[in-house]
Amino acid sequence: MLSTKFFSIDVDNDGIAILTWDVSGSAVNVFSEPAIDAYKTAIKNLTEDAAIKGVIITSAKKVFHVGADLEMAQTISSRPANVLFNIINEINGIFRTMETSNKPFVAAINGHALGGGLEMAMSCHARLVANTPKITLGLPEAKLGLMPGFGGTQRLPRLIALEQAIPMMLTGAPVNPEKALSLGLIDAIVPERDLLTEAKQWIKANPEAVQRWDKKGFKLPSGSIHSPKNAQFFIGASAQARKLTGGHIPAIPAILEAVYHGLQLHIGAGLRMEARRFVRVAKDTVSSSMIRTLFFGLNDANQLVRRPQGPDTKIFKTLGVVGAGLMGSGIAYQAARAGVSVIVLDTTEETANKALAYSSRLMEKAQAKGAVTQEKADAHMARITTTTHYNDLATCNIVIEAVFEDKTVKENVLKQVDAVLPPDTIIASNTSTIPITELSDYVTRPERFIGLHFFSPVEKMPLVEIISSKHTSSVTLAHAYDLCKTLRKTPIDVNDGRAFFTTRVVASYMTEGMALLAEGADPVLIENAGLQLGMPMGPLRVADMVNLDLVTKIDSQSKADLGDAYKEHPGIKLARQLVSLKRFGEKSKAGFYDYATKKPQLWRELKAQLNVPDATIDIDTIKKRLLTIQMVETLRCFDAGVLKTAEDANIGSILGWGFPPFTGGVASYIDTLGAKQVHENCLLLENTAGERFSPPKKLLELVSENTTLLTTQ
Ligand code: NAD
């Protein structure tokens, strides 16, 4: 009957309208401003047409609807608050028209219903979901620093218990249809082929549907918001939320406020309360930074937008790994998981077999959880073979070296790999610190050599830092990107330099913590300062995890390589002292921390045994130093040509070492604070803490041109 660019409407002989979302030119159904206008007109016409007995909302795509187009959400944040408020009110008006029209509206959910898509479905009088376990229903806005803005905070806790509704919104974690049914979020799960028939039945059985919260005497599923149980719940939820986000994400308290206050009001007033908070949250730099990096940036990286154009996509059938330690075994697991055959080489059969044990342990765990069938586990294991002979690697499409972090060992291995491979096969190193250009001396055709820096544990950490040497060809780089896609990893693309980007910057955080301790700062304050900034761990805990003998080894290697250019970091002596006390860090159950108890404790004797003075350094100064040093080191990576783009700096910092996601990443945070402010901080700290804080060239450029990292791309 009617067809628009966003949906079509058919009316059957019983007067039941089927509104089928199918946004043209998009893989998913989303609300854009023109789509909202068209939807408003359609709903007005349907509800005013006496011949229409009810409306089914469904989708012609694999997804049902995923809500607001994020492009719109991001541009919206730059518009005046009243314009934004009006758009939200438009949507709320449409959804209220559906609810109060007296005509039954049924959501026939045949794919993911997320964000505004679920909010639309919750505005229907019933929700039927196709019996497809892969379907998810959720309100993921908080993951991008936003809050549900089309009624989610008001309708969800009017449909399901607060104890379930609040975590769903705060974490953004979706539920599957079965869970949704048990919570009361949906009315039924039906076979996919019967979805429309069942929806029509529902309409016929409920010719005059009234939304439950519009009925007299409506009671919240969790009872009065003022009950002692609910009051207690809100106190706990607020404390928990603060603990999780450190108070850095405005959307989190805004969700709690909207629910708490909104549930005391009629739905209409609750929706207005939500809208006001949504506008505040959407206009905050936190949400725009998070959307930019964690949605657009991540999508771009995963779609390989920065891959060199030209070379054909490389298909990887067999991957070779040399070194079956923590990293080699992890890479082998990930490749086998992606359907790639793997040949793992180590010095002895016994050590090579560690890769099999690693995979088999993870497969058993997945099977125990029901995530993997026996058949799949068997197929996975069959893809991994082990060897001690280099000749067996000859058929691989790529070989990744993951042996000890020692140049001599790597030289020996790379020469042997080089000797058996055809000239075009890529050779990669997983080194975390040794310059790739230096390692490329050990292969006959350095243009086919590249760094592929995976993170530990490989199966969990999504990032791969691709490092080109001075000689790496663009074909090799393009194919390294292709491998990341095959292995389902997010690539960032950097140039060579000591410790590249991620290791270099996280090391600066770690050593700054040590320098603060060496000056006499309280170690408890140092660690808490890191956590308060939103870092996943304090700097001393990071040092223990990396292991202090490795920290000192890397430092000695740098000293040997850099000669006169080497400057000892004021924190490094503490790592040496601990190593001499046989406190190597987490692996020896003793370092800056003691690991005898379940929760690691800072070593009580730390200051006394390391002979550091007592000094009063306040927490704000500590925070400023821990944060500024990461910015300075990032800017130096731009100076050195290691970093090519701000986007890679952002993604690498969040996925690589857990730089606080609410900032949108380290480059985004430099832009948010403004180059001028960062420059002032540098000058202050250069005077008080040392020349490592002297403003980098890139920062001076940003200040003099009054610009940002993102706009200089
Ligand atoms: P590991 O000590 O766990 O494993 C190294 C493996 O290499 C061992 O199985 C060893 O038997 C094998 N090996 C040593 N010499 C060999 C040789 N000549 N021929 C064949 N095999 C040999 O080390 P790891 O932690 O897996 O680190 C490996 C590489 O990955 C290093 O370059 C390291 O810097 C890098 N890396 C480590 C991490 C991490 O968190 N551990 C993260 C990123 C990168």
Q: What is the mean pLDDT of residues 107-112?
A: 98
What does DSSP assign to residue 643?
Answer: B
Residue minimizing CA distance to atom 43 of ligand 1:
455
**What residue's CA is closest to ligand 1, atom 12?**
323
Q: What atom in ligand 1 is closest to the CA of residue 324? A: 9
Residue 357 CB–ligand 1 contact under 6 Å:
no
Residue 557's nearest CA partner among 603, 604, 507 is 507
For ligand 1, atom 14: residue with the closest CA: 403
Check whether the bond before 34 is cis (ω within 30° of 0): no
Handedness of CA 494, 496, 497, 498 (dihedral sign): positive
**CB atoms < 10 A from the CB of 493, how many?**
24
Atom of ligand 1 nearest to the CA of 433: 34
Name residues whose C-beta falls within 8 Å of residue 368's C-beta, 6 or more positions apart in sequence: none
- The residues annotated as belonging to the active site are 453
Give me the mean pLDDT over the 631-660 stretch: 97
* Stretch 267-285: mean pLDDT: 94
Mean pLDDT of 361-379: 94
Q: What is the pLDDT of residue 370?
A: 87
Express each pLDDT in 660-698 by its tens digit: 999 999 999 999 999 999 999 999 999 999 999 999 999
374 CB burial (10 A radius; 0-12, 13-18, 19+): exposed
For all residues of the chain together, what is the average pLDDT? 95
Question: Does the structure show a pLDDT above 90 at 553?
Answer: no
Atom of ligand 1 nearest to the CA of 354: 9
Is 150 exposed, middle or buried (CB count within 10 Å of its CB: 0-12, 13-18, 19+)?
A: buried
Q: Which of 322, 343, 403, 455 to mutate to test the pocket of ligand 1 (most atoms within 8 A of CB)?
A: 403
Contact 436, 462 (CB under 8 A): no
713, pLDDT greater than 70: no
How far apart CA 38 and CA 35 sit, in angstroms, is 5
Write the Ramachandran bin of 327: left for phi over 0, alpha for psi from -120 to 50, otherwise beta.
alpha
CA distance 341 to 335: 7
* pLDDT for res 243: 83
- Tell whether ligand 1 has an atom less than 6 A from the beta carbon of residue 432: yes
Instruction: Say what the pLDDT of residue 72 is.
Output: 75
Would you state the pLDDT for residue 39? 97
**pLDDT tens readout for residues 341-364:** 999 999 999 999 999 999 999 999
CA distance 508 to 659: 13
Q: Look at residue 244 in the predicted model and tell me its pLDDT.
A: 79
**What's the pLDDT score for residue 170?**
96
Is 347 touching ligand 1 by the criterion CB < 6 Å? Answer: yes
pLDDT-based confidence at residue 472 (cuts at 50, 70, 90): very high
Nearest atom within ligand 1 for CA of residue 329: 26
What is the phi/psi pair of residue 545, to 5°?
A: -70, -40
Spatial contact of 162 and 222, defined as CB atoms under 8 Å apart: yes
Atom of ligand 1 nearest to the CA of 409: 18
Helix axes 666-673, 619-639, angle to 10 degrees: 110
CB count within 10 Å of CB 122 equals 27
Confidence of residue 69 (pLDDT cuts 50, 70, 90): confident
pLDDT band at 193 (very low <50, low <70, confident <90, very high): very high
Going by the DSSP 8-state scheme, the letter that residue 706 receives in this structure is: T
Strand order in the sheet with 490-495: 384-387, 341-345, 318-322, 398-401, 426-429, 449-454, 463-468, 490-495
Task: Give the angle 356-362-367 at the CA atoms, nearest 5°.
Answer: 120
pLDDT at 574 over 80: yes
Say which amino acid occupies 527. E
Distance CA 224, CA 650 (A): 44
The mean pLDDT value for 632-639 works out to 97
Residue found under tokens 């330099």: 497
Residue 663: predicted pLDDT:
96
**Using an 8 Å Cβ cutoff, are 617 and 516 in contact?**
yes
pLDDT of the residue at 246: 85
Residue for token pair 């005391």: 264
Tallying the residues shown for the chain, one arrives at 713
Q: Is the CB of 402 under 6 A from ligand 1?
A: yes
Find the farthest-apart pair of alpha carbons in the chain and give their distance in angstroms, rounded.
88
Cα distance between residue 457 and residue 3, in whole Å: 50
pLDDT for position 565: 86
Protein residue with least CA distance to atom 3, ligand 1: 325
Q: What is the mean pLDDT of residues 301-316?
A: 96
> 416 in ligand 1 pocket by Cβ < 6 Å?
no
Residue pLDDT, tens place only, 511-526: 999 999 999 999 999 9
Residue 542 predicted with pLDDT over 80: yes
Tokens of 394: 């000859």
Nearest to 17 by CA among 50, 63, 65: 50
The structure tokens 């402010």 sit at 677
How far apart are alpha carbons 268 and 261 in whole angstroms? 12
**pLDDT tens, residue by residue, 224-266:** 999 999 999 999 999 988 887 888 999 999 999 999 999 999 9
Residue 566 in contact with ligand 1 by CB distance below 6 A: no
Q: How far is the CA of 458 from the centre of ligand 1 (A)?
A: 13
pLDDT grade for 707, boundaries at 50, 70 and 90: very high
Any ligand 1 atom below 6 A from CB of 403: yes
Determine which helix (DSSP H) or strand (DSSP E) holds 53, and give its type and residue range.
none
CA of 404 to the centre of ligand 1 (A): 4
Is the beta carbon of 75 within 6 A of some atom in ligand 1? no
Return the number of other C-beta atoms located less than 10 Å from residue 90's C-beta: 15
* Ligand 1 neighbourhood includes 413 CB (under 6 angstroms): yes
Separation between Cα atoms, residue 693 and residue 703, nearest integer Å: 16
> How far is ligand 1, taken at its centre, from the CA of residue 355, in Å?
12
Give nearest CA residue, ligand 1 atom 29. 402
Neighbouring-strand partners of residue 56? 18, 106
Q: Whose CA is nearest to atom 9 of ligand 1?
A: 325
Q: H/E/C letters for each residue in 56-87?
A: EEEECCCCCECCECHHHHHHHCCCCHHHHHHH
What integer pLDDT is reported at residue 271 of this predicted model?
Answer: 97
| Assigned token pair, 187 | 């009315």
Three-state DSSP class for residue 326: helix
Question: Tokens standing for 137?
Answer: 């229903």
User: How far away, in angstroms, is 326 Cα from ligand 1 center?
Assistant: 7
430 CA distance to ligand 1 middle (Å):
8
- In this model, does residue 471 exceed pLDDT 70? yes
Among protein residues, the one with the nearest Cα to ligand 1's atom 1 is 325
405 CA distance to ligand 1 middle (Å): 6
Q: Closest ligand 1 atom, CA of 403?
A: 7
3-state secondary structure of 314: coil
